Structure 1
């Protein structure tokens, strides 16, 4: 199983509520409109609570997006698609600080 994890920072000047609303509605619809998104086995959004223990540094992200794929080839099919570049990445500019947002493709290993 391949997991795509995006560590997302909101656009400067955008409130937390504006970010959450846009990401959870408008952007979600944009992602779903891309035919290649169907190769994903699942998608989740994790919205930062901004609660952190005193002895730990807070993560500099407003959310985490995760999607799962059967193979690295399936993940790359999505990432290299016209829809990724012309719909998703274009819409990212409306609510994401692309200079701070990061992506990682990883191979999940379970030990339970």
Structure 2
């Protein structure tokens, strides 16, 4: 299995609270409704950043993360290159995300503890 982790930066025209509401309530519903997502995504988790800084570390630079699990890279590509994703999700992402400031990590999971 592989995991896609996306570090999300909100559109600067939105407040952090508005971003989180839209991400949790609208984006998740729309994304999860796509048949290709239902067929290919094994798990989808959202993590919402808290407005808390750790002493001695930089201020948080992302507003949240998404973690999506797939059987393999081909399943991931089927989701993100599908016509339904491009037509329905991409325009929504452009409204609530600053896509050029988001970061992506595609990884293989190794449990340590």
Q: TM-score, normalised by structure 2?
A: 0.91
Range with bigger deviation, 24-33 or 51-60: 51-60
Q: Which residue of 2 aligns with 1:10?
A: 10
Residue of structure 2 equivalent to 1:88: 89
CA distance in 2, matches of 1:6, 1:30: 17
Look up the SS of the partner of 2:85 in the other structure: helix
C-alpha RMSD of the superposition: 1.2
Q: Which runs of 5+ in 1 are unaligned?
A: none
Cα deviation code 1:51-76 (max 9, x no counterpart): 12220113310000011011111111
Gaps of 5+ in 2: none
Whether the 8 Å contact between 1:30 and 1:91 is mirrored in structure 2 is no
- Give the whole-Å Cα distance in 2 for the aligned partners of 1:79 and 1:61: 22
Output one character per residue of 1:7-32: Cα deviation in whole Å (capped at 9) or x when no partner.
10010121111111111111112101
Of 45-54 and 62-71, more deviation after overlay is shown by 45-54
Equivalences for residues 99-110 of structure 1 within 5 A: 99-110=100-111
Map residues 40-79 of structure 1 onto 2, 5 A cutoff: 40-79=41-80
